A = this chain, B = another copy of it.
C-alpha cells in the first residue's frame, strides 16, 4: 500500500481543519449548496469530457494511487539474471518450468514467447506495443483526475460569481454583505482544496507510477531480449544495471566482455 498517498491527503485535510479552527467557527465553512455546485459541477464537466466507460473506472483509478505496489528495479534485475543463469545452464526451454513462479504477467508473456522460439523481432515488437498501450491506459486514468483537478476550481469560481451577483443585487442590508461574500468565497475555497489536496496530487502520483512501471517493463524487455539471444548472465546483469542509480548497484559491478 502506498502510505504516502493516504498520509498526504489526510495531512492536507487535517491542516486545513486546523487553520479553520484557529481562525474562527467551523460552521461558517460548511455549506451544502456550495459543495454541490463544486463537486457536482466538476463531475458534470468531467462526465462531458470523458467516455462513460472511463468514468466507471474512477474508483479503480483512485484505488491504484493508494494500493498499487511497483516492484523494485533491483529485484526485477535479480530475477532476470537468475533466469539468464538457468537458460545458460539448462537451455532456454528450462525457463518454461519457472513461469509458474513469476508474478508479473508481462514477464511471463515475454519468457513464454522466448521459450516458444518466437522470432526475436516479433518478441520485441509485441512487448513494446504492450508497453505503449499500457502507458496510454495510464495516461487516460491520469486524464480523469486531471480533468477533476481542472474543473473543480473552475466551478469554485462559477459558484463565487453566482454568490457575488446574488449579494450585490441585494445590498439593502449592509450588515449582510460580509456574510454574503464569505458564502460566495466558500466555493472557490472548496475548488482549490479539492484540486490541490486531492485531484492534482493524485494525478501526479499516477504519472509517477506510470514512469516507474515503464522503467520496470523496459528492464524486462531488455532482459528477455538478452536472455533470448543467449547472453552470458554477467552480460545480462551488466546491461541491466545501467538502469539503476549508481548507489543501488552491486559493489562487484564489472562489465564482462
A contact patch SS: helix
Chain B residue contacts of A188, Cβ below 8 A: 161
User: Are the CB atoms of B178 and A171 closer together than 8 Å?
Assistant: yes
- Whether the Cβ atoms of A159 and B19 lie closer than 8 Å is yes
A168 at the interface (CB under 8 A from B): yes
Bound Cα distance A140, B41 (Å): 27
Contacts of A41 in B (CB 8 A): 12, 15-16, 196-197
Q: Given the complex of chains A and B, what is the CA–CA distance between A23 and B167 in angstroms?
A: 8
Whether, in the assembled complex, A126 has its beta carbon less than 8 Å from a beta carbon of chain B, the answer is yes
Answer yes or no: A50 CB below 8 A from chain B CBs: yes
Q: Could you tell me if A192 and B158 are in contact, using CB atoms closer than 8 angstroms?
A: yes
Residue among A12, A28, A122, A185 facing the most chain B CB atoms (10 A cut-off): A12
A52 surroundings in chain B (CB, below 8 A): 2-4
> B49, A37: Cβ atoms under 8 Å?
no
Interface residues on A, range: 35 or more
* Contact yes or no, A33 B9, CB < 8 A: no
Contact A169 B25, beta carbon cutoff 8 Å = yes
A109 vs B241: C-alpha distance when bound (angstroms)? 12
Copies of this chain assembled into the complex:
5
Interchain CB contact under 8 A, A44 and B118? no
Q: Which of A8, A25, A40 has the most CB of B within 10 A?
A: A8
In the bound complex, CA of A152 to CA of B132 (Å): 34
The one of B40, B133, B175, B215 that contacts A15, using a Cβ cutoff of 8 Å: B40
**CB-CB nearest in chain B for A31:** B22
Cα of A48 to Cα of B209 in the assembled complex, Å: 12
B192, A164: Cβ atoms closer than 8 Å: no
CA distance A137 to B25 in the complex (A): 45
Which one of A19, A167, A175, A179 has the greatest number of beta carbons of chain B within 10 Å? A19
3 closest A-B pairs (Cβ-Cβ)?
A8-B48, A49-B204, A48-B201
1/0 per residue, CB under 8 A from B, across A137-150: the answer is 10010010001000
Interface check A130, CB cutoff 8 A = yes
Note all chain B residues with C-beta closer than 8 A to A18: 33, 36-37
| 9 pairs, CB–CB < 8 Å, chain A vs chain B | A7-B44, A23-B163, A48-B204, A51-B205, A51-B209, A54-B208, A116-B255, A158-B192, A161-B188
